[in-house]
Amino acid sequence: MKRMAVLAAGAAALTLVPASEALAGKRYQATIARTTYGIPHIEAKDWRGVGYGVAYAYAEDNLCLLAEEFATVAGTRSLHFGPEATATLGFEQVDNLSSDVFFRAIIDLPALQEGAKTLTPRVIGLLDGYVAGYNRFLKDAGTQGIPAECRGKAWVRPITRDDMLRLNEKQMLLASSLNLAPAIANAAPPGSPAPKAAINMPKPGELGMGSNGWAFGGDTTANGRGMVIGNPHFPWKGPSRFWQMHVKGPDGYEVMGVGLAGTPLPTLGFNKDIAWTHTVTQAKHFTLYQLSLDPADPTRYMVDGESLVMTPQTVTVPMPEGTPAVTRTLYSTRYGPVFVIPNRGITWSAATAFAVRDVNRSNQRGIEAWLRIGEAKNVGEVKTAVSETLGIPWVNTIAADRHGDALHADVTAVPNVSGEKIKTCATPISGLFAEFAVLLDGTKQSCDWDVAAGTPVSGLMPASDQAATIVRSYLTNSNDSYWISNPAIPHRQLSPVLGEYGTARSLRTRSNFTETEALLAAGKVDHARAQAHAFANKSLAADMALDEIAALCSSESPLPEAAVRGCKALAGWDHRFEATSRGAALFRAFWAKAGRLPGLWQVPFNPADPLNTPHTLATDGTKGEKLLATLAEAVAELDTANIALDAPWGDVQRVMAGNAAIPIHGGPGTLGVLNMQESRPAPYGGLMPVHGTSYIQIVGFDDKGPVADAILSYSQSTNPASPHAADQTRAYADKQWHRLPWHDADIRKAQIAKPKRIAE
């Protein structure tokens, strides 16, 4: 309450002076109006002002989170939090020392500073404005205005443009080499001590990334205009949380949507003519290289018979007071840094090493790409924006416009590596890496990325070789590859670097197509039907498996007592993950094991029927016995966790807001649930969501502009003292959609406080 009083007093002081007098001649100025759920509407006359207002409003809601991010990218986590504590990098936990070594080595600040000279003036304005707005908030808040969680901490400090460059670099690497941070930070020549940090091979299906996105064209909507359903799946905690904003800037720029920590404008949302969402693409944004080392020196490697020296880089990581700094030397090649994953046989020996080349290192084109998307008047202009900049780092773009056109563009920054090159440059062990990345032969210069004319950076794959489709029916993506975004129009085969072709789709993708086709078969889409579609909470795995499980349960042969209890609980389940669904927790525990059983399906995958295959649970002989044994194991698991087999799902999966429990609907994507919520055991019992449905938007258009309903599942603020720390979470639990105020009259009507004008 004290912090809120300080902020209110500051706001009052800022509005006492007439606006024209207070803002005259100021370098940075913005107006911030807050509406229902604390959503800020930021207006500025120039790009500096946009960044200024966005940063100030974001810091009001999430200062501690953002301040910690700046400490992370500066490589000072060990100093402030201890080397053995952990950081959230991408979607995984990494020890602080590995994090610090990684960022101090991989972020090439001089190169980023040089690259910033080529950025457009408006991007520079956004970055510099963000710096000024963040620092202004620190000044206005004072010591007592800082949230209790980070008050008085040395890592809460003013920032510079360098901090923004570092943070942008981290965001670009989020779904690529950032996931190799411990593997890079702990790579050392043979003879060095074995790394103490945990180093694992990231698996695409386990990186925690996901999302669903739909673009409906005019032929499928009730009013003949386009409609977008955006359902990105992102973490509930940490720096990859979304935050809502509405931005009005110069030259008619006006966009409402969300961004991640430190983004100076919406990166997913809508304007008056188009709406868009993103899903993490299956395309690979880096390649690995297998190196043959010089027998005389393991820090030299051979390319076309020539011995090349690796580039050493010594980094020093400061430690807490009284502890000596840690110094490490990492090595880099023409392809990129050397990395190791010992438990997968990826080691640095006297003969062999491995390096990673990431297409998103020094990718500073992203902000300009999102600016251009936000300015687009139709989906053709969205396609042009992503194609010309090649700045979108790791997400599909799914969009629709008021004219009734729909777009799916799997066009990102990817290495220009053809299918033929992948074959000719494969090494004997390339197949072992295929699920994770493309492994190429580093001994041949010809195996480097191809150079295509017209790309903004050498080595990028041109947009013409990637996948982009515009239709008036519908297009959708649930993180599988470009191959099928509408079953009626499968895409032609492209380079394997863009994802798998002709392979089995995930249960979530199959559920998407099944439910979408059923939705359209019942009539054209409007907001109400889109809302029901987004939150149906059906499990395709349950629909596919439970008839056969029921048959096993009715067997005349005696069953284990635990299996009998499990059969009874599943018989009463509605196949959904609604808060009221009984038996959902048991099926979740069962399918986590059963879904991995070999020979699970009687009918195998058929590329000619990807929506319906594989299917029919295999229950003959020992396979049926194994399924019942697995069910018994799931019963025992819930018994151990003190979860009743028929407990309502909302009593099991919940979050705490103070002392109040909020039931959370939605379930695992691996069970074919579109409204994905992945959970872990909670300290207060049951399960708590950690990753899944985050910002959900349904955007259509009428004669006046966009018509948008949305919910941010985990709410705007990470400050427990904020009134907006759990208000939208309660709305999500109740499926209460919020009609976003876009027009000035609607904003004024929804305001929860007087507009705040800031300037300096």
Class of domain 286-358+418-447: mainly beta
Q: Is the pLDDT of residue 4 over 60?
A: no
Q: What tokens were used for 366?
A: 């992203």
What is the structure's pLDDT at 557?
82
Pick the catalytic residue from 98, 176, 211, 694. 211
What is the structure's pLDDT at 16?
35
pLDDT digits (tens, 9 = 90+) for 169-197: 999 998 888 989 999 999 999 999 877 88
What is the structure's pLDDT at 211?
95
What is the structure's pLDDT at 25?
73
pLDDT digits (tens, 9 = 90+) for 412-442: 999 999 999 999 999 999 998 888 899 999 9
Element (H, E) at 444: none
> How many CB atoms lie under 10 A from the CB of residue 11?
19
pLDDT digits (tens, 9 = 90+) for 202-226: 665 544 467 999 999 999 999 999 9
Distance between CA 693 and CA 735 in Å, rounded?
13
Angle at 318 between CA 313 and CA 320, to 5 degrees: 160
Q: Is the pLDDT of residue 12 over 50?
A: no
Distance between CA 717 and CA 3 in Å, rounded?
14
What is the structure's pLDDT at 2?
38
What is the structure's pLDDT at 567?
97
150 or 202, higher pLDDT: 150
211 carries an active-site annotation: yes
Stretch(es) of the chain classified as CATH 2.30.120.10: 286-358+418-447
Stretch(es) of the chain classified as CATH 1.10.1400.10: 540-673
Distance between CA 349 and CA 347 in Å, rounded?
6
Which residues of 566-636 form beta strands (DSSP E)? 601-603, 615-617
pLDDT band at 90 (very low <50, low <70, confident <90, very high): confident
pLDDT band at 23 (very low <50, low <70, confident <90, very high): low
pLDDT digits (tens, 9 = 90+) for 501-515: 999 999 999 999 999
pLDDT digits (tens, 9 = 90+) for 246-272: 999 999 999 999 999 999 999 999 999
pLDDT band at 93 (very low <50, low <70, confident <90, very high): confident
Q: By CB neighbour count within 10 A (0-12 exposed, 13-18 middle, 19+ buried), where does 326 fall?
A: middle
Element (H, E) at 662: strand 660-663
Distance between CA 426 and CA 440 in Å, rounded?
5
CATH architecture of 540-673: Orthogonal Bundle (1.10)
What is the structure's pLDDT at 6?
38
> How many CB atoms lie under 10 A from the CB of residue 423?
10
Distance between CA 477 and CA 438 in Å, rounded?
23
The chain-wide mean pLDDT, for the chain, equals 94
pLDDT band at 33 (very low <50, low <70, confident <90, very high): very high
pLDDT band at 24 (very low <50, low <70, confident <90, very high): low
Residues in the chain: 760
pLDDT digits (tens, 9 = 90+) for 118-133: 999 999 999 999 999 9
Helix axes 161-172, 121-145, angle to 10 degrees: 110
